[in-house]
Structure 1
Amino acid sequence: MSLEKAWGLLEAARRLHVVSHVDLDGLAAAALLLRWARRRGIEARHSVAGVRGLYRMLRRALQEAAGQPGSLVVVADLSPRGRDDAEAIAGLLRWGQRLLWIDHHEWPEGAREALERAGAVVVHDRSRVTAEIACSVARCEGDDLELVGLARADDSCAEDPRGLAERWRLVLRHLDWEGLRRAAEALAQGELWPDWVREVYEREAPSYYSEIREKTSVDRYEFNGLRVAVVTPPPRASGCDVQRLGLVPGPEEADVAVILYPRGISIRTWGQLRADCIASRLGGGGHSHVAGAPRPSTTMGPAQIARMVANAAEECRTGQ
Structure 2
Amino acid sequence: MYDELIDSGELPISRKSVLPGTGFFLPDSLEDDLEDQETKAALEGAEVAVVADPDADGLACVALLREAYDDVRTVPDPAEEAATADAEVETDPDAAETETVGLDDDESLELPAPTPHRVALIPASPHDFEDALARVAEHAEDGIDLYVCDLCPDKYEYVEAELEAAVETAERVSWYDHHQWDDDVAEAVREAGVDLVVGDSEEECTADVALRSLEYDFDERFEELAAVTRDHDLWLREDPRSDDLADYSYWTDPAEYAEVVREYGADLPEWVEEFIAERRVEKEALIERAVARAEYREIGGYTVGVTYGRCSQNEVAEAMREAGADASVIVKPAGSASIRGTDAFDRCHEVAGLVDGGGHPKAAGCKPDIYDDMLDYAHHWTTRGATTKQVILDAFRAVVEDEPDDGASNPA
- What's the TM-score, normalizing by structure 1? 0.80
What corresponds to 1:5 in structure 2? none
Shift in CA distance, 122/243, structure 1 to aligned 2, threshold 3 Å: same
Shift in CA distance, 40/305, structure 1 to aligned 2, threshold 3 Å: closer
* 8 A Cα contact 1:269 1:275, kept in partner: no
Per-residue CA deviations over 1:171-197 (Å, capped at 9, x if unaligned) read 33323xxx1111111112235413553
Q: Does 1:259 align with 2:326?
A: no
Shift in CA distance, 312/186, structure 1 to aligned 2, threshold 3 Å: same
What corresponds to 1:7 in structure 2? none
What corresponds to 1:131 in structure 2? 207
Shift in CA distance, 220/277, structure 1 to aligned 2, threshold 3 Å: same
Between the aligned residues of both structures, percent identity stands at 22
Residue aligned with 2:320, SS? coil
Question: In structure 2, which of residues 168, 181, 206 is the aligned counterpart of residue 107 of structure 1?
Answer: 181
Alignment of 1:223-302 (within 5 A): 223-232=299-308, 234-235=309-310, 237-244=311-318, 247-249=319-321, 253-261=324-332, 262=334, 263-271=336-344, 273-297=346-370, 299=380, 300-302=387-389
Residue aligned with 2:264, SS? coil
What corresponds to 2:251 in structure 1? 174
Residue aligned with 1:19, SS? strand
Q: Does 1:34 align with 2:66?
A: yes
Per-residue CA deviations over 1:60-113 (Å, capped at 9, x if unaligned) read 123333x333x1110111111323213233332463522211000012352212
What corresponds to 1:50 in structure 2? 125
Shift in CA distance, 305/37, structure 1 to aligned 2, threshold 3 Å: same
The 10-residue stretch of structure 1 (18-27 or 80-89) with the greater mean CA deviation from structure 2 = 80-89
Unaligned runs of 5+ in 2: 1-45, 74-116, 371-376, 381-386, 406-412
Shift in CA distance, 316/82, structure 1 to aligned 2, threshold 3 Å: farther
Q: Does 1:19 align with 2:19?
A: no
Give me the whole-angstrom Cα distance separating, in 1, the residues matched to 2:183 and 2:307: 30
What corresponds to 1:151 in structure 2? 229
Structure with the higher strand share, 1 or 2: 1
Residue aligned with 2:283, SS? helix
Unaligned runs of 5+ in 1: 1-13
What corresponds to 2:154 in structure 1? 81
Residue aligned with 1:228, SS? strand
What corresponds to 2:241 in structure 1? 164
Name the aligned partner's letter for residue 182 of structure 2: P
Name the aligned partner's letter for residue 249 of structure 1: R
What corresponds to 2:194 in structure 1? 120
CA drift at 1:48: 1.5
Name the aligned partner's letter for residue 214 of structure 1: R
* 8 A Cα contact 2:349 2:358, kept in partner: yes
Per-residue CA deviations over 1:181-221 (Å, capped at 9, x if unaligned) read 11111112235413553343122111211221134321222
Residue aligned with 1:78, SS? coil
- What's the TM-score, normalizing by structure 2? 0.64
Runs of 4+ in structure 1 over 4 Å off: 39-42, 223-226
Per-residue CA deviations over 1:115-139 (Å, capped at 9, x if unaligned) read 2121111011123111011111124
Paired residues, number: 294
CA drift at 1:15: 1.8
Residue aligned with 1:200, SS? helix
The 10-residue stretch of structure 1 (27-36 or 151-160) with the greater mean CA deviation from structure 2 = 151-160
Give me the whole-angstrom Cα distance separating, in 2, the residues matched to 1:79 and 1:132: 16
Give me the whole-angstrom Cα distance separating, in 1, the residues matched to 2:119 and 2:346: 42
CA drift at 1:160: 4.9
Shift in CA distance, 159/312, structure 1 to aligned 2, threshold 3 Å: closer
The 10-residue stretch of structure 1 (222-231 or 166-175) with the greater mean CA deviation from structure 2 = 222-231
Give me the whole-angstrom Cα distance separating, in 2, the residues matched to 1:278 and 1:317: 16
